[in-house]
Chains A and B, each alone.
Chain A
């Protein structure tokens, strides 16, 4: 609903969400405390729209046919992280159809990489695992791909375990946009797409990455790990032990700049 003043709003499921001009749907929703599942979205980086977890339907319609039946015409599907919010839109997110599709996406990610949660240091604070739990993923459904991936331990302080990469490019964007180092990139297409390091040898140890860089601290899964630190937080105190990933959506919202 537009009130004709500065604040405009749209509807997300049953809730009216205010937004500011230029905000995306997910930014406005998270700011308003409404969670939309996501993996490649990050409030500090340019939206990417690749993981599709945040897909919503916009402006579905219900029509009545000539024989009196009510039929729903699904609205267009769009990544809420790249779609600007518009006044009076009707956005659907928490529907059985979309939740089912998100579960399927997470299942595909889980079988594409080698995600062995029981021995992963990121377990309990991993966004992929947290989403899987939150969406009620009970099994991988698809056959395990068992992709052959390596570990790059060449850097003195940071380890790369490519087995767990979900190609979200958060590290790529962090390194380019925040660290201004361009340490990471994706290479290849389709099933051969993979994360690479920007050095002649291809090894992380030959890049100028520092453990304090944003890129070394942004991985949502267990790829970029700080060496010699593992399992330091006891069970029960890990990030998603205390609250599910969908709790307190404002934590994922863009931080307003102080005026």
Chain B
């Protein structure tokens, strides 16, 4: 695959190695390695995903109706995304892709509840310490406990926003984490009037607090525009689902990609053709794949997904307050797309506001109390389900044999889509802030801040089995290589 600037040093053996492990305040386990010369000049920076999950493999051989419940165990933060993406794929298997109105709205409510809780978790618990106190502030206070001490009102809103999102998930799926609400072709329950009223009583408050959160990040952005507009700048293509009218839609839509200048690359492309549209590249130093747009190649075809892509790819947001904020965000860029990594936070909070508004409007819809829960039709052998998860576009693809067992599973998880972009961002930050300077904890935190902007879920993102290029060397006591085996991207083993 194409090698990016600062991806691989010419003589790594002669360089000093700095390791940030684990990367903190993200989901899952990852590390960053930085190779420096004697003058602290940066020669190589890599974000490695060091954990391995392998869900793609052990889903094989399981009955298809088990998959939406099984596969959500990928993650404890965004299991709803996997639950629903797998359900959408299995809807196709059972011929029930045209859901009943009640089923579709219940799933939407569940999904927007998850968007609310995940975005609240990320902004308030994981990122606000950096943003409120500064990247190199006292590390002992740079956490949610520090935020609660210094800004109790902000911390309280963060906790309660997340709680509300979790309650929406509980009511629709049975549990706050890892419920079973969605089944192939529909859902297993609707809302009772009591459940609707229970959620509705707090809905206005959640919209108000989400607006406050947008105000906080907007203010931070404007107060320190020089930093926020340049930190971790990653001009790139952006990809997301959009609705049929180009509107923001987290649950369903078609793919749209715009280049770094905002020009359309493709639009309203059905995600059923994702596997020709995208290619999943691999590199020997990471368990996470590197997808790119096939037509643009591995050098130019990489892209960003997630809030920053979604907010700038869509033509509008269907809820009024979030749409107002989107327009302000758009105006801030003077007509040009924003690619600075910290802009992710602003976009994320606009999405949280959209989620809160959507939850409120769904709750007053009488279809939520309906009884027609499951649809079915002609059985199919292949299903692809795609959804906009909190961290970006999530692809689930399955094949099911005549005996109802899964024979093939392929997942492109949101964070995986951002792999190249995250690596480019940390290299940009390393070059700008670290190179040639004496390293401190605060400086190294700049690297983590750049990663956190993407809100990566590293545990979600590592599933390919047997696809990673590997090299095994047998070395004698004197350091001489006796034998070497390599496995290429094609899976072939060569000596």
Contact = CB atoms under 8 A, between A and B. Distances in A.
Contacts of A233: 188
B181 A154 contact: no
Nearest to A205: B403
A159 B189 CA distance: 25
Nearest to B180: A231
A159 B63 contact: yes
A252 B404 CA distance: 34
Contacts of A228: 65, 94, 404
A255 interface: no
Interface of B: 61-63, 65-66, 68-70, 73, 94, 173-175, 178-181, 183, 188-189, 403-405
B63 A227 contact: yes
Given A118-B69, A118-B73, A159-B404, A153 B188 contact: no
A229 B70 CA distance: 15
Nearest to A156: B403
A118 B188 CA distance: 17
Given A121-B66, A235-B173, A235-B174, 7 more contacts: A119-B69, A121-B65, A151-B61, A225-B63, A227-B63, A231-B180, A232-B188
A165 to B, nearest CB: 16
B181 A234 contact: yes
Contacts of A230: 63, 65-66, 69, 183
A153 B403 contact: yes
B174 A153 contact: no
B184 to A, nearest CB: 8
Interface in A61-79: none
Interface of A: 118-119, 121, 151, 153-154, 159, 225, 227-236
Contacts of A229: 65
Contacts of B62: 119, 151
9 contacts: A118-B178, A121-B65, A153-B63, A159-B404, A229-B65, A231-B68, A232-B183, A235-B173, A235-B174
B180 A234 contact: yes
Contacts of A154: 403
A230 to B, nearest CB: 4
A119 B79 CA distance: 13
Nearest to A225: B63
Interface majority SS on A: helix, strand, loop or mixed? loop
Nearest to B67: A119
A228 B188 CA distance: 14
Nearest to A222: B66
B178 A236 contact: no
Given A234-B174, A235-B174, A119 B405 contact: no
A230 B69 CA distance: 9
Contacts of A232: 183, 188
10 nearest interchain CB pairs? A235-B174, A230-B65, A119-B70, A153-B403, A234-B189, A231-B180, A234-B188, A153-B405, A234-B174, A119-B69
A246 B483 CA distance: 63
Contacts of B68: 231
Contacts of B65: 121, 228-231
A225 B64 CA distance: 13
Contact of A231 (B73, B188, B403, B404): B188
A170 B175 CA distance: 32
B327 to A, nearest CB: 40
Nearest to B172: A234
Contacts of B183: 230-232
A238 to B, nearest CB: 9
A197 to B, nearest CB: 15
Contacts of A231: 65, 68-69, 180, 183, 188
Contacts of A235: 173-175, 179-180
Of A118, A119, A121, which is in contact with the most chain B CB atoms at under 10 Å from its CB?
A119
The CB with the most chain B CB atoms within 10 A, among A151, A159, A231, is that of A231
A119 B66 contact: yes
B194 to A, nearest CB: 13
Nearest to B401: A153
B74 to A, nearest CB: 12
A154 B183 CA distance: 23
Nearest to A150: B61
A153 B401 CA distance: 10
Contacts of B66: 119, 121, 230
A153 B60 CA distance: 13
B128 to A, nearest CB: 32
A111 B173 CA distance: 29
Given A234-B180, A235-B180, A151 B405 contact: yes
B26 to A, nearest CB: 24
B180 A227 contact: no
Contacts of B189: 234
Nearest to A241: B174
A230 B186 CA distance: 12
A228 B178 CA distance: 21
Given A231-B180, A231-B183, A235-B175, A119 B73 contact: yes
A227 B179 contact: no
A168 to B, nearest CB: 22
A232 B65 CA distance: 10
A154 B403 CA distance: 6
A229 B180 CA distance: 13
Contacts of B405: 151, 153
Nearest to A159: B63
